Structure 1
Amino acid sequence: MAAHVIVLGNEKGGTGKSTAAMHIIVALLDQGLKVGSMDLDLRQGTLSRYLENRIHNERTLLIPNHIRIEKDDGTFRGSFQQLYDTQDVMVIDTPGHDTPLGAEVHSYADTLITPLNDSFIDLDVLAQVDGQTMKIKRPSHYAETVWKHRQMKAMSQNGAHVDWIVMRNRLSHLDARNKRDMEVLIGEFAKRMGCRVVSGFGERVIYRELFLKGLTMMDMSGDELSMSHIAARQEVRNLLEAMQLPCLQS
C-alpha cells in the first residue's frame, strides 16, 4: 500500500495553505479514506494548532493520523515513510518561506497545490510580470523550485508525474479589472509551466472563524448553515473534485 501524497506549497505566507489543507483532510476523511497529515512548518505549526483545536472540540469529529515535525533533525523521512506505508492519502502542509525540508518534500508530491491570493504581490512568487505590457517575463524563484523538483521526481521514479495545481484563493465575489487581469496572467503561466488552475475558496469570514473550534465547512449542517456557508461548502467539494485524485475515482 502506498499513499497518494498531496503537498500544500507556496513560499509566501498568508495564502491559506493550512486552511486549504485542513478542509482537504476532513473532506477526504468524510469519503472514508485513511488520511495521514504532516506539518512541516517548524515555527508556526498552524495546521497542528488547527488539529489541536479540533481534538478539544466537544463534538465527536474525524481526526487524521497527524505528525508534526518540530525540528529538522532527520526524523522527517522515517515519519513520512510511516504514513506513506499505512494511509490511503497524505496531506502535507509546508511553511510560507523557503526551507530545505519544505523544498525537499515537493519531490515527494503526487499532487502539489499552490494556493494563490488574487493579487499581483502573491503572483510575484510564481512569475515576474512586466507592468507595462502585462505579460509574464519569466518564472520566479518558487516556480523554478517546483520545476526542479518535478524533474527530480520524473528522473528518480521513471517519469512519475507531479500534478501541479495553482489554486486561486480568497477570490472576490465582485468582478474587477484586477481579477480579470490575474485570470489572464495565471492562464498564461499555466501554459508555460504545465500546471492546472482551479478556483479555491472565496473571501469569506467563516473560514477564519472556524479555526478556533477546529471545524471545517464539512462539519457544519442543519441550522448552522446560511446560504453563504452552503456556497463555501460547495467550494470545498469543487476543489476536491478538481483535484482528480485516483483514490476517489473508483
Structure 2
Amino acid sequence: MASRKKYVGGNWKMNLNKAEAVALAKDLATKVDDAAPCEVAICPPFVYLDAISQALCEAGNKTIKLGAQDFWTAGNGAYTGEISLDMLKDVGVSVVLTGHSERRHVIGETDVLINEKNLKALEAGMEVIFCIGEKLEQREAGQTDAINAAQMSYGLAGVTAEQMKNVVVAYEPVWAIGTGKTATPEDAQKAHKAIREHLTSMFSKEVADGVRIQYGGSMKPSNAGELMGQADIDGGLIGGAALKADDFMGIINAAK
C-alpha cells in the first residue's frame, strides 16, 4: 500500500459573516502549522475568499490551503453570476470542490458538467476534491458501490493518470450529511475500499493506491480517530464541525 498523508478539508458552505469567517481563519492560522499531522484546506464562501487569503498571508501561514466551493468552466467572460478559475487563482485559491451532493441534488449539476469542471480545474493546475456518494434510498437498495462507481466513471472520464495526483476523492453518503448520522467505521471502510478498487480498474493499482479518499459524512472529533484509522479512509471533508476552530482542530489532530 502506498503511503498516503491524511487530508482534512473544511467546507464552510453558506455560513458565517465576514467578521466570523476572518476570525475563524485567523484562529486556525495560529493552530495549524508545518507540524500538522495532515494536509489542511478550508473552503469559505466566495465573498470572503480574498479577505481570508489576506488573513492567512498576514499570519504567515503557508500550511492551510485555500479552497473554493465551486467555479464555472469557462474563462472570464459573459457568464453573469459565475466565478472563473482565473479569478480564484488571483485571490490565492489552489483547491476546488466538485460534485458535492448539494450541487448535484439541490442545484441540479449533472455528471457531464461535473466531469467538465474536473477537467478544466486540472488543466488549470488546481487540486480537485471530487465528491461522490449515494442517497438513502440507494443505500437501502444496496446500490452504494454501483452509484459511487458510476459517479467516478463519469466524473473522471478523460482524466489522466498523471492528473490523478491532484485529485482527492471525497465519499459523502448523502444520508449522513448534516444529519448527525454517520456510517460505522466498518461500513465507511467497505465503501472506501470499493472506491479504491474501482479506481484501480479505471487507472491502475499504483494510481489508486496514491489517491487520498476522504470521508464526508458527519465526521466530528469524537469519531474522527476511529474513522481515519481505517485502511482506506485518508481524511475527512468536514461541514458543520469545520465552523468551530476547536472542533476542526480535534479532527485534524485525530489524523495522527
* TM-score for the superposition, normalised by structure 1: 0.43
Higher relative contact order (CA 8 A, sep 6+): 1
* TM-score for the superposition, normalised by structure 2: 0.42
